[in-house]
């Protein structure tokens, strides 16, 4: 595919200004759909890290996915028609961590995490940058876009509540 920008930034943070009403709808649908994911994967530390729930069960998720795709297209300097994506939820209960990993297993061009429900002290995102690890404190309504080959992890959820994020990988369409 021609036109792929090979020099994307190490990471990009985007904050949604009006996320509260959207989160309310998404979290309400998630509560109904979480017991019946289409599939689960990556069983580590006593939990499935990835929960796959389709927009059929969570229709309010589509606006968020569209926003993420628009941001990814800007970062990659591609048109929306040139991108496809896959997504999953990560539900981290108190005491859980997400181990060091990357997302460069297939044809990914860009990875992203979006924070839906982040209690205080529920774990930081650690990005393995060339100049050393960068710790980001997540906030509700925050996207973090990064290259799929960038190793990253999440520190322990030390809060008393679960934390919910949405991960998205973007690749070339077709």
pLDDT tens-digit map of 100-130: 777 877 788 999 999 999 999 999 999 999 8
CA dist 48 → 52, 58, 107, 152, 174 (Å): 10, 20, 23, 18, 29
The pLDDT confidence band at residue 33, using thresholds 50, 70 and 90, is confident
Torsion, Cα of 68, 71, 75, 80 (10° steps): 80
Indicate the CATH number for domain 12-172: 2.60.120.620
pLDDT of residue 121: 97
Average pLDDT over residues 60-70: 96
Please tell me the distance from the alpha carbon of residue 148 to that of residue 20, in angstroms, as a whole number: 28
- At residue 138's C-alpha, the angle toward residues 166 and 94, to 5°, is 75
Please tell me the distance from the alpha carbon of residue 134 to that of residue 11, in angstroms, as a whole number: 10
Reported as a single tens digit per residue, the pLDDT across 37-51 is 555 545 455 665 667
Q: What residues contact residue 16 under an 8 Å CB cut-off, 6+ apart?
A: 22, 67, 141, 142, 143
Do the Cβ atoms of 23 and 64 come closer than 8 Å?
A: no
- Length of the chain in terms of residues written: 174
Specify the DSSP element, H or E, that contains 119: none
The terminus-to-terminus CA distance of the chain in angstroms comes to 10
Among left, alpha and beta (phi > 0; psi -120 to 50; other), residue 96 is beta
């Amino acid at each position: 595919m021609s036109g792929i920008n090979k020099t994307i930034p190490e990471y990009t943070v985007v904050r949604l200004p009006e996320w509260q009403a959207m989160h309310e709808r998404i979290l309400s649908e998630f509560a109904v759909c979480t017991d019946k994911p289409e599939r689960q994967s990556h069983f580590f530390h006593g939990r499935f890290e990835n929960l796959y729930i389709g927009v059929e069960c969570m229709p309010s998720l589509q606006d968020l996915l569209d926003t993420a795709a628009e941001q990814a297209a800007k970062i990659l300097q591609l048109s929306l028609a040139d991108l496809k994506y896959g997504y999953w939820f990560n539900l981290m209960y108190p005491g859980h961590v997400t181990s060091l990993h990357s997302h460069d297993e297939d044809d990914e061009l860009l990875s992203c995490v979006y924070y839906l429900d982040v209690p205080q002290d529920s774990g930081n995102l650690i990005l393995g940058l060339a100049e050393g690890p960068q710790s980001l404190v997540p906030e509700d309504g925050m996207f973090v876009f990064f290259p799929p080959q960038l190793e990253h992890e999440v520190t322990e959820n030390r809060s008393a509540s679960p934390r919910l994020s949405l991960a998205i990988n973007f690749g070339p369409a077709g």
